[in-house]
Amino acid sequence: MSDRKVGLLVIGAGPGGYVCAVRAAKLGVDTLIVEQDKPGGTCLNVGCIPSKAMIHAADEFYKACCFGSDNELGIKAGKAEIDLAKTLEWKDGIVNNLNIGVSGLLKRAGAESLTGKARFLDGKTVEILTSEGTIKVHAQNIVIAAGSEPIEISSLPFGGNVMSSTEALALPEVPETLAVVGGGYIGLEIGTAYAKLGSRVIVVESADRILPQYDAALTAPVAKRLPALNIELMLNAKAQGLTGDTLEILLQDGSSRSLTANKVLVTVGRKPRSDYGLEELSLTMDGTFIAIDDKCQTSMRGVYAIGDVTGEPMLAHRAMAQGEVVANVVAGGASTFDKMCIPAVCFTDPEIVTVGLSPQDAADQAAELGSEVSVGQFPLQASGRAMTMERDDGFIRVVARKDNGVVLGVQAVGSQVSELSAAFSLAIEMGARAEDIASTVHAHPTISEGFQEACMSVLGNGLHI
């Protein structure tokens, strides 16, 4: 066993880990990063990137299918076909190129990378098992960026025709019938993609509506769209088990229903990974997550944690921001992490974006804010651009202080609203007031005009509603 000493050891080369390592190395910190799989973590390899690639391919195929029959645009085309093997090859090519890109970023920054399995021996020492032997690393600072993994339920253990999102993104053929257990964003994103590729999709959700982490107004357009995509929704229902290709469902009234499902996708959530000797540390925990302060410092000096292991929201860009904070702190800088302006995007059909406070959250905090709250909303039915895209379902909503108009939160649901997430976040980060956005000239015709109009509505002088 060889011994090493480093200034910073990063466990996990996902979005948070590799960003932390790159930034720390550029700041002159002697940095080593270890990853047991490919660089990029869940997001790049089996999450964000491959799922968005599949969503895009499904969208394009669905459009082609629509043009094979009578449509309002007058476009006529032949029967659409898809070579799924070629689609997967294209998706995997994107992932591979980005893997290479992450490795290149680390190398150019001067961070050393190791492929291996890390395990804590104590708060300053980590054992790394590599293909060439074991290395003991003594680190002045350690960052836990180990990520998360799908939650398995006892009635539907993974294997055979029961799969997690990882396997769902690599199916060799489109299943005739796909049951999705869990109506959260992962299940709906992947389920919608397969519905557009031709599967009959059934979503089984134990709550009384889909996407329960969002308010009902935002999820309503998504739920309304499901039947048109050949997606059946079963609410207040629990999957009990799979026998052959028969999935048993328990309904709220106590009755049961049997469904035929060639494949079952279980997406009931994710849990933090802990298979790296976490029990060897005396960390303060927040349930199953590692508790941290505003510098992402754990309860042990010199041990930091970022990303999914620290709790919700489990978002790649949150982990990246935390990674930069830790790198700056370790290098001697003064950085803190503020979660106020983290956008959350759900790539359903239509898309959902939220950032900052919801109307209910703001109303609940009115006393603390020292002001009542004003809410302005612009329906995309009044958007010329949305009409020309044949997608006028949804709205943009702005939450602001009533006394001075400072924007506290922005929510939107609609086609391509994910691309507005940066504008929403920037408005809150910069302390913009509704009048600042309302008086900014927005290009016409664009969906972004809805942001301006919602702010006008906050001020009581909306133009097109």
Q: ω before 15 within 30° of 0 (cis)?
A: no
Is residue 310 a contact partner of residue 16, using CB atoms and an 8 Å limit? no
Closest-CA residue to 346 (of 443, 267, 291, 266): 267
**Backbone conformation region of residue 314, classed left if phi is above 0, alpha if psi is from -120 to 50, else beta:** beta
Is residue 435 a contact partner of residue 449, using CB atoms and an 8 Å limit? no
Q: Distance between CA 52 and CA 362 in Å, rounded?
A: 32
Q: ω before 313 within 30° of 0 (cis)?
A: yes
In the chain the first and final C-alpha atoms are separated, in Å, by 71
- What is the biggest distance separating any 2 CA atoms in the chain, rounded to whole angstroms? 72
b/e map 88-103, b = 16+ CB within 10 Å: beebeeebeebbeebb
Closest-CA residue to 186 (of 169, 206, 207, 161): 169
Look up residue 44 and give its amino acid: L
What token pair was written down for 39? 């660089």
Strands 125-130 and 133-144: antiparallel
**Phi–psi pair at 93, nearest 5 degrees:** -65, -40
Residues known to be catalytic: 444
* Residues in CB range of 227: below 8 A, 6 or more apart: none
